[in-house]
Amino acid sequence: MVLSPYAAPARFHGLIAGPLAAAITACVAEPAHRRRAAAFARRLAAEDGAAAVPACLGVASGSAQRPPRLSARDG
């Protein structure tokens, strides 16, 4: 079994515990993968995506408009 972001999804009924465990262990034991995951975690922790939403909508400046209401016929 090969774990890769480009690999096709594995089918649940085709999973075998031994090879899956070995692939996951190899992935988390690889120092380069651990370093990249730690760097990504630091970047993610530094972001404040929730605070960016009101700014993008103009809520902070008071210029946001209420979105139009949809009726049942609008689908």
In this model, does residue 46 exceed pLDDT 80?
yes
CB 12 within 8 A of CB 36: no
Domain that holds residue 21: 12-74
| Count: domains in the chain | 1
Question: Of all residues in the chain, what percent carry a pLDDT higher than 90?
Answer: 9
pLDDT of residue 39: 92
- Classify residue 3 as exposed, middle or buried by CB count within 10 Å of its CB (0-12, 13-18, 19+): middle
Asked, for residue 7, whether it belongs to a domain, the answer is no
Predicted confidence band at 8 (pLDDT cuts at 50, 70, 90)? confident
In this model, does residue 34 exceed pLDDT 80?
yes
Asked, for residue 29, whether it belongs to a domain, the answer is yes
pLDDT of residue 73: 63
